[in-house]
Structure 1
Amino acid sequence: MSQPRVFPTSGFDILDPSKEFEEETLPDYLKERYYPVHIGEVFNSRYQVVTKLGFGSSSTVRLCQDLREERYSVLKVHVRTRRHLPEVETSNYLKANIDVHGGEMYVRLVTNSFEVIGPYGMHPCLLYQPAGIEIRDSMHCLEGDALPENLLRPTLGFVHIALDHLHEAKVTQTDVQPNNILLGIVDESILTEMEDEISKPAPQKQLCDRTIYATRAMPLTSSEPNLADFGEARFAKEKQTGLIMPNAWTLFEQGHLFKSRNHENETDYAQRFAEMISLLGPPLEASLKLWDRNGIWKASIEIPEQSLEIRGSRLESNDKAIFLQFLWKTLRWLPEKRPTAKELLLDEWLRGNDY
């Protein structure tokens, strides 16, 4: 077992304590919700934090050195909660699924979990194998903040292989979006470049009860992507309620395919249906909440004048036609009419010109 390393206590930029920084800029930030992680801290007598990788409304993420196995792990320290995290249950279930599929290679699961007591309560901690940057961040480096077709096609191909594996295991990932698709890492030696906290420590905002560190970006890799974050996954045996809207459209076009985000009232309900009708056409069965007995739209919300042909602006001619055919297959009103992930892998557009 390796000995913990000693990190510097000086030689870094100290940031203005009066200005919000990193997780403090989030709309719902409260310091009492976050565990005050320190660089060099050892969790569970095993995982030493070596740098900060990111933050969000529900957690902060750190790169750790596993002192027992002398390798890297990624540690997600959740905000204070006593609620059981469903991602742990989903990961344990999938790891116990002994059927070899191939898609498990492209699914990033929790490898270990434990809890830590902070100043204000209990914080769940999840461990993962290291991965590269999110597809979302790689998109920001590209023209138009979106993946070109030659990158979109293989990315969605690997995602569908992962989804087929999940579906065969009776698990549904309801949160497919650029944030949850990570580039893979084959050679973890590139992570040594992340360990600059000893020679070049990151800027820090020092407060009386915590230190907020600057995030270091994960390296840009060219390895096959992984589907990650199963906090919103569902088991097929459970009854599903609420909205499920994967943001895969964002990979190729800016913005979301459907804009309305909730169903808090009748107006929100009508807004969502109006958006869907504008792109998919009317459903086969009409609700009397929104249509009259003659099938005429009666809601106060107007149906937008738009189409997938207009919204899909990044492709032209025949490429656009077969891409839209791919989309149409996935956007059927009736779930039983939508193709499975395995069937979509045989789609003309997704297979590309190499088949």
Structure 2
Amino acid sequence: MASQKLLLPREFPSSGFEVIDPSQVVEEERLPFYCRDEYYPMRIGAVIKDRYQVVAKLGYGTSSTVWLCRDLRDRVYWVLKVHVNILEHNQELEVYRHLAGITMEHSGRRHIRWLEDSFKLKSRSGEHDVFVMTPLGMSLRTLQKKQKNGVFQQPLVVPALDQVLTGLNFLHEADVIHTDLHSDNLLIALANDSVLSKVEDDEICKPSARKQIGDTTIYVSRYMLGGAGPLTICDLGRARIGNEHSGDAMPVQYRAPEVILNMKWTNAVDIWSVGLLAWDLLERENLFCVYDHECEERNDAHHLATMTALLGPPPPEFLNRSKETSKYWDEDGKWRGPVPLPTEKTLESLANTLAGDDREQFLNFVRCLLCWLPEERLTTEQAHHHPWLRERS
């Protein structure tokens, strides 16, 4: 059979867009450690690898920019995640290679964003890993911001958590710990490609604002809306392979207590994250936040003090696992840390969205995930079968 003829690349406007003043800081330039030479100088309209035509910028992060492209060979849309050129070790690529060797059948596979292909691009400053991935819709956090009062109704939260737990169960069965599970990393899959062709057409009819610095163009992202497919766990850049680790992990406000206190940690840190995710989706006030941007030690003290107020004192078995616990509790678990306990905070006093049996079972669900001892937290399978989820699904 003859190979399919390549589509001709489309022409994208070279004028008619807002030109941003070079002195104005935009997009990835706002990141605290941004360095222009580390990012690939992508251009909308460029054809990569003689195949992928870049049609819009979708976003950016500390280690990559993300672009929508049209496959001129297979006539479908892909996302190109283009990494910075200073990554000595691409952890996400290692995790995806590990997952590629997992052959077990599992319903959780459809709730994980997969790597379709990868290659390298050269720039004048170095080499960039490029991931080819399926385009997805908006994040759960973006959708939440559109809700009344910024919280979801219970009938939406329950199936969302069901899907997260199913995907997480697959990762744990595959010996992978995500460590970075929150609503920004949960994207809603698209039901069809119509929104993608609209993004491409919009970039031609009304091109994105941009600024020019030397030979680098920095575009303003077009954020993907829409999505009616399954919830998808994304961003495996901080994931770990194997079940026991030590050292820093998790975004600061989502850290499990064993991570803060430099204990060994396991996939139970993901269960802690699910507990916080459930709370964040339903309640207006987050359980934990960043208390002190200037002093990590003082921030940790506030964080652990709030945990103590909400969960009660940690058991002796937990205290014995790290010498650092003596900074915060005596041998009986009484608080003696450098900041006061927020005695007015309890889970009950902060849970204001649900009522009656819904509220009681929700609080029980959260308490079963936010345990001091990691081994006492429910597993993904046990959490999936908790009455609060099963009786409302």
Provide TM-score, normalisation by structure 2: 0.84
Residues 245-292 of structure 1: per-residue CA shift (max 9 Å, x gap): 335143333454223489976544433321211111111114433333
Aligned residues: 354
| Residue equivalent to 2:282 | 252
61, 67, 71: which one aligns with 2:72: 67
Letter in 2 for 1:304: P
Residues 190-218 of structure 1: per-residue CA shift (max 9 Å, x gap): 31111122232222223322112221121
| Matched residue SS, 2:135 | coil
Compared with structure 1, are the counterparts of its residues 29 and 69 closer, same or farther at alpha carbon in structure 2 (3 Å cutoff)? same
Asked if 1:85 is matched to 2:124, the reply is no
214, 219, 224: which one aligns with 2:230: 224
Compared with structure 1, are the counterparts of its residues 42 and 238 closer, same or farther at alpha carbon in structure 2 (3 Å cutoff)? farther
Paired with 2:287 and 2:311, the residues of 1 have a C-alpha distance of: 11
Whether the 8 Å contact between 1:202 and 1:213 is mirrored in structure 2 is: yes
Asked if 1:206 is matched to 2:212, the reply is yes
Letter in 1 for 2:59: G
Asked if 1:272 is matched to 2:272, the reply is no
Displacement of 1:345: 1.0
| Residue equivalent to 2:334 | 296
| Residue equivalent to 2:188 | 183
| Matched residue SS, 1:302 | coil
| Residue equivalent to 2:267 | none
Overall identity of the aligned pairs, in %: 38
Whether the 8 Å contact between 2:313 and 2:334 is mirrored in structure 1 is: no
Paired with 1:177 and 1:292, the residues of 2 have a C-alpha distance of: 33
Displacement of 1:174: 0.9
Displacement of 1:91: 1.5
Paired with 1:95 and 1:218, the residues of 2 have a C-alpha distance of: 27
Displacement of 1:112: 1.5
| Matched residue SS, 2:197 | helix
Paired with 2:359 and 2:378, the residues of 1 have a C-alpha distance of: 20
Whether the 8 Å contact between 2:210 and 2:218 is mirrored in structure 1 is: yes
Q: 1:49-198 maps to which residues of 2 (within 5 A)?
A: 49-195=54-200, 196-198=202-204
The 10-residue stretch of structure 1 (121-130 or 338-347) with the greater mean CA deviation from structure 2: 121-130
Asked if 1:311 is matched to 2:317, the reply is no
Paired with 2:299 and 2:214, the residues of 1 have a C-alpha distance of: 44
Displacement of 1:98: 0.9
Paired with 2:121 and 2:191, the residues of 1 have a C-alpha distance of: 30
The 10-residue stretch of structure 1 (194-203 or 166-175) with the greater mean CA deviation from structure 2: 194-203
Provide TM-score, normalisation by structure 1: 0.92
Paired with 1:53 and 1:11, the residues of 2 have a C-alpha distance of: 20
Paired with 1:240 and 1:18, the residues of 2 have a C-alpha distance of: 43
Query: Unmatched 5+ residue regions in structure 1?
Result: none
RMSD (CA atoms): 2.2
Whether the 8 Å contact between 1:87 and 1:110 is mirrored in structure 2 is: no
